[in-house]
């Protein structure tokens, strides 16, 4: 392809991402895909959806081909903890909606076949979320088929939209049982060493095993007896419950009981009973490389979000990531995006950055960004929280430039919706104030550094009741009472009706900001300069610069409930300002290097500065 043709293709792909007419989408599909592949991870606006909760286009797969009650099929659309019927066909038919929102990439919740139901009697729930995998090579029948997933990926690519898969290597579904107990407490390597059965005073086993730090096939071949901490076993009928079949070998799991999420148990304990893979074993590493390399080969996906990444030993990622990048490159995907989930509750990003330096993960979900927005816009902390956040960017492997690839978010399916936290922090606030705070959070998400990730439903004013199941509302008409009694933002409707319209103020705002972002290189790839922050709610101002022309974009946010007027430092050669989103920048500088900004309560402005010529 010539350079001029490539440029035309990239412009066309950008136009598609901004909602170009459908007729243009098939004019040169090869060029569209090539231009899409050429985009860097930070060029995207990501939309995250759990397929089961998005849209139900095929009711015939609601029960996953199973028969019986909900404890056998997993299907109960009235319960927040069971399958509701959403599927891949539903996600595919809503691609125009997702594109209209301005998204250029879709992060699809796990699609792998799951154990339909698990949990103690009376505490059962279903694998609708996709994190209880039994078959790592195929799509869960509740969601559709492998062919339908391929059709989804191809249809997204035809629109210039990337597809990121949510993957898991830390654990499988809860299939392995322990003879000693049900919810077993973690037993450490010191108290229950590999070479003794049931504790230091038990009989000798696994002679010659040199420990899990010696990661060779020859060493792990000596780990023949898995009963060092507990006595694990497979119930009759579960001997081949998992696929590929190597996953049914009990010796390939830690079998030490439930993690406390701290210290040694963080990487070796069962995640709330889920079978924890011994990722130190080279057999597990090779098997996972084969599995997930295969998804790249078969479907041409564009990236992986890695669940529970911090609960896997770093050496696994140090080998797995290069293998996936090489597999993607061989498939013609040069900018394959890999980002790990490292749950983190502080504005200080040090614990996140560690996983890019030690584990060599290319990126991690930016929980520190979310925390900064929670503490300032859904809280009362000063805007200096963002100084703490962004001063940590050089800590990431690759420095501040690498921080541009961190997916940022304010809401997600595990941690809850931003609107919920606003209402929790300000219970006396009216819906108008809540709406403005949510819009301010959106403006930060879609203009500051990182890769903005929008959680499905946020654009429709979903508010949730908390985290996890309480934040996983249906986009199609819901039958869950605890969802349908929520007071949404920007609409008088409830989740009892489908929400794929484009009239909600939050949809309109998100779409407008997304279009500004993808059309403005300073907002996708530009470096940041902190201009102003305060130790109380008030002004945050940041300049971002076009990486080619050095053109300046000024971002100004007011986290306080009162209007503010400030002079903000800008580059000395700036003369004019043009508002791209929000409002408040003066048309001309007050003096060289100083621009007046006037912001309403919870207001924001995105302004392009012009020179003297």
Which residues are catalytic, by number?
307, 341
Distance from C-alpha of 587 to C-alpha of 472, rounded to nearest angstrom: 43
Reduced to 3 states, what is the DSSP secondary structure of residue 328? helix
CB 164 within 8 A of CB 32: no
Q: Which two tokens stand for residue 53?
A: 């909760």
Q: Which helix (H) or strand (E) holds 421?
A: helix 418-425
Q: Which two tokens stand for residue 595?
A: 């621009």
Beta strands in 372-473 (DSSP E): 407-408, 451-455
- Residue in 308, 258, 238 with CA at minimum distance from that of residue 279: 308
- Rounded (5°) CA angle 211-216-222: 55
Cα torsion 109, 114, 119, 122: sign? positive
β pairing state of 363-364 and 407-408: unpaired
**For residue 35, what are the CA distances in angstroms to 6, 7, 152, 161, 511?**
7, 8, 19, 10, 21
Could you say which DSSP state residue 396 is in? S
Beta bridge partners of 113: 135
553-565 as b/e: b if 16+ CB within 10 A:
bbbbbbbbeeebe
- Residue in 426, 379, 390, 385 with CA at minimum distance from that of residue 534: 385
481 backbone dihedrals φ, ψ, rounded to 5°: -60, -40
Distance from C-alpha of 445 to C-alpha of 454, rounded to nearest angstrom: 9
368 backbone dihedrals φ, ψ, rounded to 5°: -65, -35
Distance from C-alpha of 321 to C-alpha of 340, rounded to nearest angstrom: 11
CB 258 within 8 A of CB 187: no
């Amino acid at each position: 392809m010539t350079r001029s043709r490539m440029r035309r293709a990239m412009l066309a792909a950008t136009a598609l991402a901004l909602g170009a007419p459908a007729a243009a989408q098939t004019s040169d599909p090869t060029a569209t895909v090539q231009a899409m592949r050429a985009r860097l991870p930070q060029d995207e606006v990501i939309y995250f959806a759990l397929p089961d909760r998005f849209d139900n286009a095929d009711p015939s797969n609601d029960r996953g081909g199973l028969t019986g009650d909900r404890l056998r099929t997993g299907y109960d659309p009235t319960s927040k903890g069971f399958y509701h019927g959403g599927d891949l066909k539903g996600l595919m038919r809503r691609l125009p909606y997702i594109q209209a929102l301005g998204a250029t990439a879709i992060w699809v919740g796990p699609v792998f076949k799951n154990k339909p139901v698990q949990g103690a009697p009376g505490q059962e729930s279903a694998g609708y979320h996709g994190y209880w995998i039994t078959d790592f090579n195929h799509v869960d029948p509740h969601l559709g088929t492998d062919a339908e997933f391929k059709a989804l990926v191809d249809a997204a690519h035809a629109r210039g939209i990337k597809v990121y898969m949510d993957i898991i290597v830390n654990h499988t579904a809860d299939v392995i049982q322990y003879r000693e107990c049900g919810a077993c407490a973690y037993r450490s390597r010191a108290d229950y060493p590999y070479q003794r059965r049931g504790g230091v005073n038990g009989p000798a086993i696994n002679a010659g095993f040199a420990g899990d730090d010696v990661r060779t096939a020859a060493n792990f071949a000596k780990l023949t007896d898995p009963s060092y901490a507990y006595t694990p076993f497979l119930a009759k009928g579960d001997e081949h419950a998992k696929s590929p079949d190597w996953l049914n070998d009990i010796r390939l799991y830690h079998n030490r009981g439930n993690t406390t999420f701290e210290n040694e148990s963080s990487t070796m304990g069962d995640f709330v009973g889920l079978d924890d893979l011994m990722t130190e074993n080279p057999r597990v590493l090779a098997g996972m490389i084969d599995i997930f390399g295969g998804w790249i080969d078969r479907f041409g996906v564009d990236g992986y979000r890695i669940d529970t990444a911090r609960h896997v030993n770093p050496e696994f990622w140090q080998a797995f990531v290069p293998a996936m990048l090489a597999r993607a490159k061989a498939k013609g995907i040069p900018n394959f995006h890999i980002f790990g989930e490292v749950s983190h509750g502080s504005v200080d990003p040090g614990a996140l950055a560690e996983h890019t330096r030690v584990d060599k993960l290319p990126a991690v979900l930016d929980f520190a960004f979310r925390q900064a927005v929670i503490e300032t816009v859904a809280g009362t902390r000063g805007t200096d929280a963002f100084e703490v956040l962004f001063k940590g960017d050089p800590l990431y492997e690759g420095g501040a430039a690498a921080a541009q690839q961190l997916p940022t978010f304010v809401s997600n399916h595990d941690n809850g919706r931003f609107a919920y936290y606003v209402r929790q922090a300000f219970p006396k606030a009216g819906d108008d104030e809540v709406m403005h705070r949510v819009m301010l959070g959106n403006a930060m998400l879609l203009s500051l550094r990182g890769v903005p990730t929008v959680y499905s439903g946020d654009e429709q004013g979903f508010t949730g009741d908390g985290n996890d199941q309480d934040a996983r509302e249906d986009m199609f008409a819901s039958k869950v009472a605890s969802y349908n009694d929520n007071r949404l933002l920007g609409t008088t409707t409830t989740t009892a009706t489908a929400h794929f319209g484009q009239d909600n103020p939050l949809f309109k705002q998100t779409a407008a900001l997304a279009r500004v972002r993808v059309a403005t290189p300073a907002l996708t790839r530009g470096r940041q300069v902190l201009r102003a922050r305060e130790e109380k709610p008030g002004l945050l101002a940041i300049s971002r610069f076009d990486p080619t022309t050095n053109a300046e974009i000024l971002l100004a946010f007011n986290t306080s409930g009162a209007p503010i007027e400030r002079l903000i430092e800008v580059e000395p050669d700036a003369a004019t300002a043009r508002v791209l989103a929000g409002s408040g920048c003066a048309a001309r500088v007050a003096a060289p290097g100083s621009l007046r900004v006037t912001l309403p309560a919870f207001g924001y402005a995105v302004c392009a500065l012009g020179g003297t010529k």
